[in-house]
């Protein structure tokens, strides 16, 4: 499998075993199974209870390494895309390095926060390291435990999100052409954000407050549609392809209505887009690698196919890359 410029050697995905259904949410917040499905396409989401971000990332990474059938010591770079780490330092990536038993291996390890675009941003960064020859193989992970920042009293956000992680092992392929597109726009109006971290110290009267996720649903809807279409057009132009030549598009799994509108605007079959958010909800940076792993396992992707990965999220950030098998 080739990300244009880099080759994917193996993939993995891991989600917590506990499932929170729409029916269960009816007893937590004022909502209904019908309301959630009609507005989002989501039926279930996996929720962490005993595991946190590092463990989810580690489990998906272990799968990806096993699938790649490589010696883990060949990995020279670990990037974890997340905005829900367990702690500010050490990074999730460094803690995954330790759990993989790679502390004695020369390694570059760090986290990257581009919210729901994080995985495609991380792929682009890894591509630069690989292309430079500084490393030979990289482990790229998207991992989130979004349940710990959800406000369960706010039905417009708490019904959307789930927890999980996905990972890929990659190497550089000099026989392919790079095709990446990234963009951003500072979200000064708080369209897609978390509550601020208060400055609490002996010189202030501030009180620490829980960090909660917040969003303006209508504005996010409009932004997402624009971001997806812009990214698709940019990638098609780079690759000198038409959308009819693309076999599958794997977007960030945010909301089925967003994808339905893009399908209508682009006049393409809905089957052009791979969706699995009905069983996972929105897992932010983890959603694309989880969907990629499932698309591979269910044979939605076959050798010779041309595939797009499209991310969009807080920042605001958006972008994507082309892959082929």
Q: Which residues are catalytic?
A: 116, 252, 282
* C-alpha gyration radius of the chain: 19
On whether the CB atoms of residues 322 and 261 are closer than 8 A, the answer is no
Q: How far apart are CA 223 and CA 178, in angstroms?
A: 26
As given in the structure block, the two tokens for residue 231 are: 């990214």
Reduced to 3 states (helix: H, G, I; strand: E, B; else coil), residue 242 is: coil
All residues at 6 or more sequence positions from 234 whose CB lies less than 8 Å from its CB, including other chains: 181
On whether the CB atoms of residues 323 and 1 are closer than 8 A, the answer is yes
Q: Given the DSSP bridges, would you call strands 2-3 and 6-14 parallel, antiparallel or unpaired?
A: antiparallel
On whether the CB atoms of residues 197 and 211 are closer than 8 A, the answer is yes
All residues at 6 or more sequence positions from 289 whose CB lies less than 8 Å from its CB, including other chains: 11, 13, 60, 119, 140, 141, 142, 165, 166, 167, 168
- Please report where in the chains the tokens 């190497």 appear, as a residue: 171
Q: How far apart are CA 130 and CA 142, in angstroms?
A: 19
Q: Where are the beta strands (DSSP E) in 129-256?
A: 137-145, 163-172, 180-184, 192-194, 213-215, 248-251
Q: How far apart are CA 211 and CA 117, in angstroms?
A: 20
């Amino acid at each position: 499998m080739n990300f244009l410029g880099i080759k994917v050697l193996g993939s993995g995905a891991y989600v917590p075993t506990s499932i929170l259904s729409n029916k269960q949410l009816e007893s937590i917040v004022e909502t209904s199974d019908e309301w959630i499905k009609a507005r989002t396409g989501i039926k279930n989401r996996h929720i962490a209870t005993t595991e946190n971000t590092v463990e989810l990332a580690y489990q998906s990474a272990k799968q990806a390494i096993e699938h790649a059938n490589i010696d883990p010591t060949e990995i020279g770079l670990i990037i974890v895309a997340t905005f829900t780490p367990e702690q500010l330092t050490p990074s999730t990536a460094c803690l995954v390095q330790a759990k993989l038993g790679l502390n004695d291996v020369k390694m570059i390890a760090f986290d990257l926060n581009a919210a729901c675009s994080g995985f495609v941003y991380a792929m682009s960064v890894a591509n630069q390291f690989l292309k430079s020859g500084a490393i030979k193989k990289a482990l790229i992970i998207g991992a989130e435990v979004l349940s710990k920042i959800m406000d369960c009293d706010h039905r417009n956000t708490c019904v959307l999100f789930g927890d999980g992680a996905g990972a890929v092992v990659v190497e550089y392929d000099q026989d392919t052409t790079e095709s990446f597109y990234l963009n951003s726009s500072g979200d000064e109006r708080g369209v897609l954000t978390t509550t601020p971290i208060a400055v609490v110290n002996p010189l202030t009267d501030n009180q620490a407050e829980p960090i909660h996720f917040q969003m303006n649903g209508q504005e996010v809807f409009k932004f997402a549609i624009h971001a997806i279409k812009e990214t698709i057009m940019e990638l098609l132009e780079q690759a000198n392809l038409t959308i009819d030549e693309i076999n599958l598009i794997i977007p960030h799994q945010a909301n089925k209505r967003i994808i339905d509108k893009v399908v209508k605007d682009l006049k393409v079959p809905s089957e052009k887009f791979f969706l699995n958010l009905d069983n996972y909800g929105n897992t932010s940076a983890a959603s694309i690698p989880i969907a990629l792993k499932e698309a591979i396992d269910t044979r939605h992707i076959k050798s010779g196919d041309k595939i797009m990965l499209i991310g969009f999220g807080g920042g605001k950030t958006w972008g994507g890359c082309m892959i082929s098998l």
